[in-house]
Structure 1
């Protein structure tokens, strides 16, 4: 499908079609991929056409709806619902927002299956997906406000991966804070980690910052030490894919390196995420599953082979940042400080 003005990561149109901005093609091309069934949604999440923990949850909720929207009986609905949830739950195991959204949809079915006729239950599931999306937009705004206040005076910010509109459907979490700071005249420059191997920073964060008119410079992932040594960075803001009860945080690979560098150079290190990213069912990082992706993502860059034939690779998609390295975790409810007891 042809591109649209702006860069909303998803559109759900009046024809019951989920349109997903293909983030693999950004910034060169703004192309929307159309989905009318749950299998297409599962593939889009797994292939990273859409990504970002909060957005994955929102898209999954719409995927559940697409999986059941043509059901004629309750038995058929339950069967297709369970199949949809099973398919979606296997797409990105580290992102807890995925399971949060699926649990929200499960709660609707469990509460209403014996009360509502099938067509009304289907409408309720559709409405719940929109509610999850709208709630995320509101949460992003609050995170932005809390984060901007906490980081007052920190005018040179480094961020990792992409945590903006393309990751949440709102203004973003970590990038939402940056946008709020810019809006309030509190920001001088943003340093953007390129974020290998998918280059979400160089492609997506830079794309959003350019669209917003925010000054930025792209840096290699391993430049953080020199930026810190030369005193060019006042604060680092990152997102999260899962936060344990003790504050241990799983985020895009490279986050742990940033956190340890910040501790060494006394730079403020902040995690920004909605409350739904906090997994209160797990005690620490030991219980967080870490997704490993295909070695081809490391051995190739931009579709071009960069490693010798026969090379092996290890491709952790996420790493763990210990809670004691995090100066603050900021959600829509406010600013949490170490030690964390969620």
Structure 2
């Protein structure tokens, strides 16, 4: 793996500016006994070298905090992650700050802001990061843990997920065992690592059972309700419509249910649906949703504890942890109707 970028020091900036370390320190501390020209030069070089002040060794006053950051709106999935992180934080005596920031906004200045705010670590959930963003956090001395990342940067990062492939395999095998042969997959972003694993599990189950994945039976979007409506409509309007659909998330599954009802299809009498996540909404749908349980609260807790270990300088056993998934059978799946077999 490439070596971590070396943190710029006051001496580095001073040498570039041709001034003393004391002069650079005065500029950083806002002292007035520095000429405007020298001040401007030093400030420019501080930005150029991406200088970050060292984190104080002693604990700042008040409760230490870890930031849990999301790329998009909060939903039932996000709530489960947050609850797991908050519970683990309470046990460790650490506060949790929840924020939302798009990937393009994450720069060196963003890393500095997190350090200046007293964050001990950052947990990024379903985020898409460039290789430069983990590097900026590393220079700032701030540990990073990813949960269900949409991509894995080339630099080594620590990530927490679940057994997505096994979950996709179990969901599809369940539908095949009910006699369904025309099974479609409506999932999340095509490039997302978790979505790829679920899709590979689906394809592996179909191939093992000798069931063909017909043209148009695989759709990608975002793990959201609206994408489930659109993706569900697309596969249900095919000339040979599926009798069962495996959805990449519970939200998508509910969207597919709506698309089915709009076409006069009953669930599960005419169409079986399996979701993924087992959030609270899976239990309150009509009928209740068969889904793959992803241990979201446990993932939030493991991420928090891992982040604190990294912040304390401890070594961790693995840079990627996968927690087990489990199929939860409810009322949205049934044997294939003879009229649609």
Question: TM bucket by the smaller chain?
Answer: 0.3 to 0.5
Who wins on radius of gyration, i.e. which is larger? Answer: 2
Q: Using structure 2 for the length normalisation, give the TM-score.
A: 0.41
Q: Using structure 1 for the length normalisation, give the TM-score.
A: 0.41
